[in-house]
Every structure is written in C-alpha cells, then in structure tokens.
Amino acid sequence: MENRDWKLDAEYALIERIARAVQAMTPPSAEAGVVTSIGDDTAVLRWGNHLLLWTVDMLIEGVHFRLDWTDAHALGWKSLAVNLSDIAAMGGTPRAALLTISLPPERTGDWLDEFLKGFLECAHAYSTALIGGDTNRAPCADGPTVIDVSVLGIIEGLPVLRQGGRPGDWLLVTGSLGGSRAGLMRLLQNDRSDVDALKAHFMPVPRLREGQLLRQRGVHAMMDISDGVASDLPKLAHASRCGAQVLCAQLPVHPAALRWCMETGEDPVRFALAGGEDYELLIAAPPETAQSLLAEFSMQTGTPLTHIGYLTAGEELILQDEQGNLTEMPTLGWSHF
C-alpha cells in the first residue's frame, strides 16, 4: 500500500494485510471467474453469463449485540438485513442465504423460534431464500451466541464498486445518519424512550431497491455505511484514489440523533459522521447524474437522497462548515481493532 495519509481504521488495514497474503499465495487458476474479491462490499464471481455477488457478516454477542437489550426477533431481522445491505451497495438482487449459529442449549427453544421468525420475515420482505447453514453449541452455558450469515445475490450488468469514483463526482447519501447510534446511546443509558432511535438500531432497512436504481442510473461508486461516514468515506476515497470534501451543513441528521444531541449538547454533525450501523448508501456520481437523481429519487423510491460533498483530485479528507471554514476530517466511527 502506498504511504498516503488516508484516514483508514485498523480493521481496514487488517483486511488489506489479508488481501496481500491471498494475492501472493493464490495461483492464477484459482482466480478464474473472480471479478472482485477482498476489499469491496461483496465478492463478485462470473458464472457462465451471469455475475454472482457473495457476502458474509458475523454478529457476536457482547460485540455486536447484547441480549439484555435486543429481543430474538429483532436480532434475527438484523442478522440478515446487514448482509442484504452489502448486496444493495453493489446494486444487486439477493437470492439465497446460509445461516450458521452457535448458541447455548437454553436458546434452542422459544428463543430460536423468535430469532428465526425475525430472520424469515426479513428474508420474505426481500425475496431471499434460507437454503441451509450450520449449528453449533456455544462453548459456555451462557454463550456467547455467534451468528454468521452468508448471502448470494445476482446482478444484471456490472456491479457498482467502491473504486469507480472520480474527482469532481458529487457525494450523495440515502436516508439519514446517526439514528442507530442514537439508539445505542439511549441503550447505554438504560433509556428506551425514543422508539425511532431503537428501531433504527435494531431493525435496519437494506436499501436494495435504491441500490438497483442507482446502478441503473450509472453512478460511479457506492458502498453501504456500516461504520459511519467518517470511517467509510475514506475507504471509498482510497479505493477511487481520490480525496473528499464533506459539506457539513448538508448532512442529513436523523431526527432521533438530533433529539439526542439537543439533550446532551453534542455536535450533531460530529455525531452523524461517527454514526455506525446506519446501513445507508454512500454514492459517488457525476454531477449531471447526481442532479437528476436528486430531483427524482425520493419520488421513485420513497427514500430521501442528499448531496453531502465531492470527491477531489487531492488526497485530503476535508470538512467544510456553514461558514466555509475547512478542517481535516477527524477519525471517528466504529473499528473492531
């Protein structure tokens, strides 16, 4: 990797380390049919005349969820939805899922039934079949519960990758930012008063229809926002070999995040940038396409679309405030390492 001043987190560095090892040790014959591998929202495989999308996400008790906070039904929904969000980021359509779960015996009855109900409700909502998986017993009587979901999708035409952005592209984002984080902050305070915040945290909505439309309209780059804009935008910029400038006054802050910031005195812009688990789409599009999308997108999908900045020819990641002042983007958002 080149020695550039990217705001990349430790998890991303770990992924790049793995990618280098794979590249060095994988024979060319094993890569036949591989269009895109490590480093994007999904892997892309060529299968005959079709392109397949393949993604996987793991949820670990005590890291991604707490069972004293979330019920089994919501956890089942979320465990599939976060994978479907990766398919959405490529502009694809999900087809099938595999579910692997490790859990203690006490969760193999009613708890598991409720988990599967939530999982299958999400699967039905987005036309995804649960076709198999694996089960294991947790190492201890009280867990941890570990959920690993893999989703296979398809795409007509080419997927939208992270690396297609160009200097001058407009940065767009679907929906709003910070709602899930507001839910998490409430839970940490044992406060369940804001139903919208809790829903944003527990029941994310994968933007599949939106991703398909954006791909059809020819956007240059796209990814889903799982770790927060301040953590994920550097990844898109890095892949596209661009810098970025974010217009802070235009960030679409979730109403639940605004309420939290009003109560606590936190800066809504910084809170929204740090986000995490928004599962919205971050897009780079040529100006003409972006302007057309901004005029039509909400009516076509029911989902807001907001212009939040630009990709630049430099390497810097910059925030522009309402007065036009420029500052370096801070290191915010979620990282596992």
- Residue 139: give its domain's CATH number: 3.30.1330.10
112 lies in the same domain as 54: yes
The residue among 107, 129, 155 that closes a domain is: 155
In this structure, is residue 13 part of a structural domain?
no
Number of domains, the chain: 2
237 lies in the same domain as 138: no
176 lies in the same domain as 144: no
What residue numbers bound the domain in which 139 lies? Answer: 40-155
CATH classification of the domain holding 308:
3.90.650.10
In this structure, is residue 261 part of a structural domain?
yes
168 lies in the same domain as 317: yes
Length of the chain: 337
Residue 26 has pLDDT above 90, yes or no: no
315 lies in the same domain as 193: yes
**89, two tokens:** 């980021």
Q: Residue range 168-189: average pLDDT?
A: 98
In this structure, is residue 81 part of a structural domain?
yes
In this structure, is residue 12 part of a structural domain?
no
21-30, 215-224, 273-282: range with lowest mean pLDDT:
21-30
In this structure, is residue 21 part of a structural domain?
no
241 lies in the same domain as 183: yes
Q: What is the pLDDT of residues 55-105, one digit of tens each?
A: 999 999 988 889 999 999 999 999 999 999 999 999 999 999 999 999 999
In this structure, is residue 117 part of a structural domain?
yes
- Buried/exposed code over 92-106 (b: 16+ C-beta within 10 A; e: otherwise): bbbbebbbbbbbbee
pTM of model > 0.85: yes
231 lies in the same domain as 148: no
178 lies in the same domain as 293: yes
Residue 6 has pLDDT above 70, yes or no: no
Task: Identify the helix (H) or strand (E) that includes residue 34.
Answer: strand 34-36
Q: Residue range 32-54: average pLDDT?
A: 80
In this structure, is residue 34 part of a structural domain?
no
148 lies in the same domain as 166: no
99 lies in the same domain as 184: no
Output the CA angle 179-181-186, nearest 5 degrees: 100
Question: C-alpha distances in angstroms, 249 versus 38, 175, 304, 308, 323?
Answer: 34, 16, 16, 8, 9
147 lies in the same domain as 237: no
pLDDT band at 5; cut points 50, 70, 90: very low
Q: What is the pLDDT of residues 212-248, one digit of tens each?
A: 999 999 999 999 999 999 999 999 999 999 999 999 9
180 lies in the same domain as 315: yes
Residue 267 has pLDDT above 60, yes or no: yes
The residue among 130, 155, 180 that closes a domain is: 155
- The dihedral of CA 190, 195, 196, 201: what is its sign? positive
* More reliable by pLDDT, 75 or 33: 75
In this structure, is residue 67 part of a structural domain?
yes
Q: Residue range 326-331: average pLDDT?
A: 88
Q: Residue range 22-36: average pLDDT?
A: 67
The residue among 112, 135, 155 that closes a domain is: 155
